[in-house]
Amino acid sequence: MAGIIGYGAFIPRKRITAEEIARQWGKDPETIRKGLLLEEKSVPGIDEDTITISVEAGADAITRAGIDPSKIGALYIGSESHPYAVKPSGTIVIDALGIGPEVHVADFEFACKAGSEAMFVSLGLVESGRVEYAMGIGADTSQGAPDDALEFSASAGGAAFIFGKENLLVDVLETYSFTSDTPDFWRREGEFYPRHGGRFTGEPAYFKHVLSATRAILDKTGLKPSDFRFAVFHMPNGKFPQQAGKKLGFTQEQMETGWIVPTMGNTYSGSSPTGLAAILDVAEPDDLILMTSFGSGAGSDSFVFKATELLPGRQPLGRTVRSMLDGPKHYVTYGQYAKLRDKIIVNE
Amino acid sequence: MREVAIVAAGMTPFGELWEMSLRRLFAEAALEAITMAGVDHLDAIYVGNMSGGCFVGQEHLGPLMADQIGMAGVPSTRVESACASGGIALRTAFFEVASGASDLVLASGVEKMNDGADATNVLATAADQELEVYHGITFPGLYAMIARAHMEAYGTTEEDLSWVSVKNHRHGALNPKAQFPLEFTLEQVMNSTPVAEPLRLLHCSPVSDGAAAVLLCPLDQAKKYTDQPIKILGTGQATSAMALADRKDPTFLDSVQLSAERAYTMAGVGPDDIDVAEVHDCFAISEICCIEALGLVERSQAARAAASGLTALGGRIPVNTSGGLKAKGHPVGATGIAQIIEIYEQLRGESGRRQVQGARLGLAQNMGGSGASSVVHILERI
Amino acid sequence: MPSPRYWREVPSRLRLEAARCSGCGKVNYPPRPICPGCRGKESEPVTLSKTATIITSTVIHIAPDDFLFEAPYAIAIVETPEGARFMAQVVECDPSSVGPGMDVSLEFRLIRKEARSGILCYGFKAVPTASWEAQS
């Protein structure tokens, strides 16, 4: 069996409130708060990107795993905001973390599912015995066009998971992937902001894939929602994962811990992985955890995890998601946000 | 070694000289010196220049400048040591004459900073690019760090810094060649725009164009060119760690102390013998650190020296009677020679309203980077 | 910044690799062929801690081109427990609150980028430990 032997997360400290964004565009903040269940979102600093978030999350994952980083044989980063269009993010991350050069590295993209994709492939390589350890990262500094609904959610952060076969903190009991060609959300090469199909992102995209993948993995494992202590679904906004969970038979209590979107926002490829990290921060031995990601385009990866007795001892070795979400925050104005997110045209 | 004298000097006004190019600046200063001495040939030329390449895209200043003054054929060499380029050009010329290799050598400095280049970026090339500039430090930033460390260690205040500027502008107001020949009040200095905390705009020397040149010859031939030659009694140069972080004590400019010790030893004099000094006040804090390291003022008195009048005209040891880099201007490559010219004129009694009466021994200290280079000259009226 | 020049410094900039002089014990960061303290040529590799104390600092208001969007920003000389001193920006705080004696943690950040098309240059910046501790 293979599973997670170390994990870490990182969330930038800057925040912008839904109210501040709404005011900019003359929208009613209550509609956002109640309609999308979004209070605020994380904003990357001018010096934070997918690579820096990956390094910070990865460093905590290595500390929690307690392994020699040079033994990590594969590293994959899933993101919609790789800082380079051509040139891997992963090479910078391995060099910063002391991994390699004997390592397989790739940058993944599958909209918001790229992070769980990196985890899935890492797990597979470890299970097959191809590599001893593999790190899968989901991280983003998500883009949302000005005055688009996405602007209220697109945020920054991510989580890293090291997979191995021994000294597991979390066992992976099962995986399942469900994929179809569904153009609900996209960003063309060279374009700055993604576009989406509005309500088409709902039923035929998010819900179809999340529900199908989750139902299938429950079937495959013979588990029922009530067997789980925690569940986390991809969080494009506050409402979708709640609705999906309810339809599947999960309770608010099971979803609460991983449901970090109201104050973090949608961290695209980092969304459900960071939700999972928040769960691992508090999970106890033998807890069952369900995670289902969703990436537009579209697909979902489902995982069933089981915490081991090693997990509690490793939790305090790194930053917790909750401490970063609730910890010192620096609120920015829309003007500062526009500057930080490169929305202001300047002379070069 | 032969004894060496300065027999002539030439200098452009310092300032934003829009109509003057790099070569024109040099020619004006050089020709003034050459004409003053009435010479028709030179044995060698040294051109102090920090960054013709970055400021105006012009390197290879040796032959360019020789050619501009009708001296093609004469050995001509550009000397670079950041803002100490001028002082070290003089030192190089001094040794060429002292050694007996040459009898008539022009030591000059020139900088054209106002020609469109980003002066902040160009000046930062004098700091450690990999360890300092990479992280976004600027030159005012480096001196601001020295200032903050000085405040922390010795209780130096923003007011102390500001008095240096007030004093030097009072001096500069008497200098017709100064870029800013005007006085500022303490309040104006302390309320000027922040540049790099705790340094404000009026704690910083300006971006300037200018050139300066002096003519050197053996002392025993000096009377051929002037009735009042000024002897170069001592020269000393030193370096320190390039990066500020690599110095044991960021408040102490050890290269300044070392270069001064060497110059004092060569001259056979001590700091108490000095009547007038030009020191490298690129920022207000540098004057405080330099007068300490030069031994002109006790460490405990250095911060208050400008406020107390110790270093003002009429004080015990007048410092930067020219207005210093602050008021006179700081065309970086020319500064070291311009300092020499101020001392040269002071010792000849030609400084008019800013004359230090009876000045016999003068010191000029010129510095590069955040103090990684320092060169000190001691001049004597004979 | 030309990419070879950036690439060459990766071990020290991205991994805080330094060298402890076998002769005098001085930690040189980045490593050098000869110790500036004692001119010893033997050294052993040491990785710097990601904690440090500020020796001196400033707040840059007039910034170089590549840092215009960041001004005003705090920048400091910091010293790690190993005794290595180096320059680092201090972020995630009010720049005016930064000063000598402050404890900081080092965080991986984008340090500079060349316009829209040049390479991205990474390294470490300092974050006041007080705000860090409040988080963990």
Q: How many domains does chain C have?
A: 1
Question: Does the pLDDT at position B299 exceed 90?
Answer: no
| Distance, CA of B274 to chain centre | 17
Q: Domain for residue A271, yes or no?
A: yes
Domain spans in chain B, listed from the N-terminal domain onward:
4-117+207-224, 119-204+233-381
Rounded to a whole number, what is the distance in Å from the CA of C96 to chain A's nearest CA? 15
Residues of A in contact with C108 (CB under 8 A): 52, 55-56, 59, 96
Residues of A in contact with C15 (CB under 8 A): 95-96, 98
Task: Mark yes or no for CB contact C87/B118 under 8 Å.
Answer: no
Stretch A241-259: mean pLDDT, rounded? 98
Chain A residues contacting C, CB < 8 Å?
13, 45-49, 51-52, 55-56, 59, 83-84, 92, 95-96, 98, 319-320, 323-324, 327-328, 330, 339, 346, 348
Cis peptide before B331 (omega within 30 of 0): no
Residues of B in contact with C77 (CB under 8 A): 145, 244-245, 250
> Which chains neighbour A (Cβ–Cβ under 8 Å, 3 or more pairs)?
C
Q: Which residues of A238-266 are buried (b: 16+ CB within 10 A; e: fewer)?
A: bbbbbebbeebebeeebbebbbbbbbbbb
Question: Does the pLDDT at position A348 exceed 80?
Answer: no
Indicate the pairing of strand A72-78 with strand A104-108.
Answer: parallel
- Both A21 and A157 in one domain: the answer is yes
Q: What whole-number distance in Å separates Cα of residue A168 and Cα of residue A246?
A: 31
Give tens-digit pLDDT for B218-255: 999 999 999 999 999 999 999 999 999 999 999 999 99
pLDDT given for residue C34 in this prediction: 96
- Residue B165 has what DSSP assignment? H
Residues A252/A253/A254/A258 CA torsion (nearest 10 deg):
80
- ipTM of the predicted structure? 0.95
Task: Mark yes or no for CB contact C92/A13 under 8 Å.
Answer: yes
Q: What whole-number distance in Å separates Cα of residue B217 and Cα of residue B98?
A: 8
Task: Mark yes or no for CB contact B246/C85 under 8 Å.
Answer: yes
Rounded to a whole number, what is the distance in Å from the CA of B239 to chain C's nearest CA? 13
Question: Rounded to the nearest 5°, which phi and psi values hold at C110?
Answer: -75, 125
Q: What whole-number distance in Å separates Cα of residue A167 and Cα of residue A153?
A: 37
Task: Mark yes or no for CB contact C64/B138 under 8 Å.
Answer: yes
pLDDT given for residue C130 in this prediction: 78
Q: Mutual orientation of helices A50-65 and A89-97 as an angle, nearest 10°?
A: 40
- Both A165 and A200 in one domain: the answer is no
Q: What whole-number distance in Å separates Cα of residue B47 and Cα of residue B269?
A: 29
Question: Does the pLDDT at position C2 exceed 50?
Answer: yes
| Assigned CATH for B4-117+207-224 | 3.40.47.10
Give tens-digit pLDDT for A294-303: 999 999 999 9
Q: pLDDT band at B345, cuts 50/70/90?
A: very high
Q: Mutual orientation of helices B254-267 and B284-293 as an angle, nearest 10°?
A: 50
For chain B, the average pLDDT equals 97
Task: Mark yes or no for CB contact B136/C88 under 8 Å.
Answer: no
Task: Mark yes or no for CB contact C75/B198 under 8 Å.
Answer: no
- Both A174 and A286 in one domain: the answer is yes
Rounded to a whole number, what is the distance in Å from the CA of C46 to chain A's nearest CA? 13
| Distance, CA of C131 to chain centre | 19
Query: pTM (2 decimals)?
Result: 0.95
Judge A/C contact: 3 or more CB pairs < 8 A. yes
Q: pLDDT band at C18, cuts 50/70/90?
A: very high
Check: CB of residue C29 under 8 Å from CB of residue C86: yes
Find which of C3, C17, C51, C122 to mutate to test the A interface (most A CBs within 10 Å of its CB). Answer: C122
Task: Mark yes or no for CB contact A330/C136 under 8 Å.
Answer: no
How many other CB atoms sit within 10 Å of the CB of residue A190? 6
Rounded to a whole number, what is the distance in Å from the CA of C65 to chain A's nearest CA? 9
Only one residue has tokens 């069933």, namely A304
Q: Which residues pair with B319 in a beta bridge?
A: B277
Q: Domain for residue A313, yes or no?
A: no
pLDDT given for residue B300 in this prediction: 85
Task: Mark yes or no for CB contact C100/B138 under 8 Å.
Answer: no
- Map residue B102 onto helix, strand or coil: coil
List of residues 6+ apart from B86 with CB closer than 8 A: B48, B108, B109, B212, B333, B334, B335, B336, B337, B338, B339, B340, B366
What are the percentages of helix, strand and coil residues in chain C, rounded to 5?
20, 40, 40
- Both A20 and A96 in one domain: the answer is yes
Could you tell me where the DSSP H helices lie in chain A?
Answer: 18-25, 29-36, 50-65, 89-97, 114-128, 208-221, 239-248, 252-256, 261-264, 271-280, 311-314, 321-326, 334-340
Q: What residue type is C89 in one-letter code?
A: Q
Task: Mark yes or no for CB contact B196/C62 under 8 Å.
Answer: yes
Question: Does the pLDDT at position B213 exceed 80?
Answer: yes
Stretch B346-370: mean pLDDT, rounded? 97
Distances in Å between the alpha carbon of C49 and those of C44, C57, C75, C89? Answer: 16, 20, 19, 17
- We report the CATH number of the domain holding residue A61 as 3.40.47.10
Nearest CB to A56; choose among C68, C108, C115 = C108
Q: What residue type is C123 in one-letter code?
A: G
Residue C17: how many CA atoms within 13 Å on its side-chain side?
Answer: 16
pLDDT given for residue C134 in this prediction: 43
Task: Mark yes or no for CB contact C122/A51 under 8 Å.
Answer: yes
Q: What whole-number distance in Å separates Cα of residue B157 and Cα of residue B203?
A: 13
Q: Domain for residue A79, yes or no?
A: yes
Stretch B192-204: mean pLDDT, rounded? 98
Q: What residue type is B245 in one-letter code?
A: A
Fold of B119-204+233-381: Peroxisomal Thiolase; Chain A, domain 1 (3.40.47)
Judge A/B contact: 3 or more CB pairs < 8 A. no
- Both A164 and A201 in one domain: the answer is no
Rounded to a whole number, what is the distance in Å from the CA of C91 to chain A's nearest CA? 9
For chain A, the average pLDDT equals 96
Return the percentage of chain B with pLDDT > 90, whole number: 99
- Residue B313 has what DSSP assignment? T
Task: Mark yes or no for CB contact C110/A59 under 8 Å.
Answer: no
Residues B170/B172/B176/B178 CA torsion (nearest 10 deg):
-150
The residue annotated as part of the active site, out of A39, A48, A56, A80, is A80
Nearest residue to A319 (alpha-carbon basis) of C75, C10, C127, C84: C127
Q: pLDDT band at C132, cuts 50/70/90?
A: very low
Stretch A151-167: mean pLDDT, rounded? 97
Nearest CB to C15; choose among A96, A324, A339 = A96
Judge B/C contact: 3 or more CB pairs < 8 A. yes
Q: pLDDT band at C115, cuts 50/70/90?
A: confident
Q: Domain for residue A346, yes or no?
A: no
Stretch B276-284: mean pLDDT, rounded? 98
- Both A54 and A186 in one domain: the answer is no
A203 is catalytic: no
Where in the sequence is the domain holding A176, given as residue range(s)? 170-307
Q: What whole-number distance in Å separates Cα of residue B234 and Cα of residue B75?
A: 25
Nearest residue to B155 (alpha-carbon basis) of B295, B326, B308, B288: B288
- We report the CATH number of the domain holding residue C81 as 2.40.50.840
Strand order, beta sheet including A72-78: A104-108, A72-78, A133-141, A156-164, A3-10, A170-182, A297-307, A288-292, A230-233
Give tens-digit pLDDT for B2-42: 999 999 999 999 999 999 999 999 999 999 999 999 999 99
Q: What whole-number distance in Å separates Cα of residue C86 and Cα of residue C78?
A: 6
Where in the sequence is the domain holding C39, given as residue range(s)? 3-133
Burial class (CB in 10 A: 0-12, 13-18, 19+), A171: middle
What DSSP assignment string belongs to A37-87?
---EEEE--TT--HHHHHHHHHHHHHHHHT--GGGEEEEEEE-S--S-SSS
- Map residue B214 onto helix, strand or coil: strand
Q: Please report the number of interchain residue pairs, chain A to chain C, with beta-carbon separation below 8 angstroms.
A: 64
Distances in Å between the alpha carbon of B276 and those of A35, A45, C94, C106? Answer: 77, 52, 44, 48
The residue annotated as part of the active site, out of A20, A39, A56, A112, is A112
pLDDT given for residue A346 in this prediction: 81
Stretch C106-113: mean pLDDT, rounded? 96
Stretch B61-87: mean pLDDT, rounded? 98
List of residues 6+ apart from A121 with CB closer than 8 A: A74, A76, A108, A134, A136
Q: Domain for residue A333, yes or no?
A: yes
Check: CB of residue A187 under 8 Å from CB of residue A194: yes
Q: Which residues of C8-34 are buried (b: 16+ CB within 10 A; e: fewer)?
A: ebebbbbebbbbbbeeeebbbbbbeee
Which chain C residue has the Cα nearest residue A45? C92
Q: How many domains does chain A have?
A: 2
- Map residue A101 onto helix, strand or coil: coil
Question: Does the pLDDT at position C135 exceed 60?
Answer: no
Catalytic residue ranges of B: 83, 330
pLDDT given for residue C131 in this prediction: 61
